[in-house]
Amino acid sequence: MEVLDYILDRRSIRRFSDQKIDSETIKAILTAAMYAPSAVNLQPWHFVVIDHWPMMEKIMEIHPHARMLQTASHAVVVCGDLQLQHDDGYWVVDCGAATQNLLLAAHSLGLGSCWVGIHPREERRTAFSRLLSLPSHVLPFALVALGYAEEQKPRPERFHAEKVKRNGWKTPFYQD
Ligand SMILES: Cc1cc2nc3c(=O)[nH]c(=O)nc-3n(C[C@H](O)[C@H](O)[C@H](O)COP(=O)(O)O)c2cc1C
């Protein structure tokens, strides 16, 4: 399949089969995350892999929209490092790029995934920091649920010509 198809066909998957993801596949996905672009190539991220059911249960207790962990094989918490980032706030953008790489790599390897938001909600950040015993300079950014999909979702139409401008805000790029 073409890379462009992988990008357009990736969907958030929230129901997974019993099949567990093997450690080589987890490594391949994490490798893709670590190949994301980052400001000044500082790679200010860390990844906490969750593969223990009691931990999945605890996450579902502290996050109101993480029920898909009920069937997930693994989850990854993408974290940003304030001491490694280029300047204030860069950790967020860099972790966003890493998270998207992670989702696309998972899809290309036949897995389903779902981005579950942590940052910027303060109460979620605090709860995850406590649960994972993160040092104070490491902030949880997003949780990614992973597993073999047990649901299929069609590609929706998302290209909106009116969102594209030419050489400034006033002129549409596409004029029929
Ligand atoms: C920052 C962010 C936070 C999200 N948080 C959640 C979440 O808490 N729970 C969830 O089920 N999906 C969450 N999602 C997934 C979105 O609902 C999903 O990406 C969106 O509906 C588009 O669908 P698609 O991913 O299938 O294209 C989140 C996505 C992003 C980017």
- The dihedral through the CA atoms of 36, 40, 41, 42 has a sign that is negative
**Is 12 near ligand 1, meaning CB less than 6 Å away?**
yes
- Element of type H or E holding 77: strand 74-81
Contact 73, 147 (CB under 8 A): yes
Q: Among 15, 16, 115, name the best residue to mutate to test ligand 1's pocket (greatest count of ligand atoms within 8 A of Cβ).
A: 115
Here the tokens at position 80 are 């940003």
Q: Phi first, then psi: what are they for 50, rounded to 5°?
A: -110, 120
In the reported structure, the alpha carbon of residue 116 is separated from the centroid of ligand 1 by a whole-number distance in angstroms of 6
Name the amino acid, one letter, at 158.
Answer: R
The verdict on whether omega for the bond into residue 120 sits within 30 degrees of 0, i.e. cis, is yes
- The dihedral through the CA atoms of 144, 145, 147, 149 has a sign that is negative
**Could you report the per-residue pLDDT of 93-151, keeping only the tens digit for each?**
999 999 999 999 999 999 999 999 999 999 999 999 999 999 999 999 999 999 999 99
- Provide the pLDDT for residue 1: 67
CA of 99, closest atom in ligand 1: 31
In the reported structure, the alpha carbon of residue 170 is separated from the centroid of ligand 1 by a whole-number distance in angstroms of 31
Residue 43 in this model has a pLDDT that exceeds 90: yes
CA of 68, closest atom in ligand 1: 11
**Is 89 near ligand 1, meaning CB less than 6 Å away?**
no
27: number of Cβ within 10 Å: 11
In the reported structure, the alpha carbon of residue 115 is separated from the centroid of ligand 1 by a whole-number distance in angstroms of 5
- Provide the pLDDT for residue 85: 97
Predicted model pTM? 0.98
Lowest mean per-residue pLDDT among 2-6, 20-24, 30-34, 113-117: 2-6
Q: What percent of the chain has pLDDT over 70?
A: 99
**Could you report the per-residue pLDDT of 72-88, keeping only the tens digit for each?**
999 999 999 999 999 99
Ligand 1 atom 25: residue of nearest CA: 12
In the reported structure, the alpha carbon of residue 168 is separated from the centroid of ligand 1 by a whole-number distance in angstroms of 30
134: number of Cβ within 10 Å: 18
What domains are there in the chain, each with its CATH number? 3-151 (3.40.109.10)
Distance CA 85, CA 102 (A): 19
Residue 171 in this model has a pLDDT that exceeds 90: yes
Distance CA 83, CA 77 (A): 18
**Is 117 near ligand 1, meaning CB less than 6 Å away?**
yes
In the reported structure, the alpha carbon of residue 13 is separated from the centroid of ligand 1 by a whole-number distance in angstroms of 9
Q: Output DSSP code: residue 45.
A: E
- Provide the pLDDT for residue 176: 76
The SS3 of residue 175 is: coil
- Supply the Cα-derived Rg of the chain in whole angstroms: 18
Name the amino acid, one letter, at 12.
Answer: S
Here the tokens at position 20 are 């567990």
CA 155 to chain centre: 19
Ligand 1 atom 27: residue of nearest CA: 11
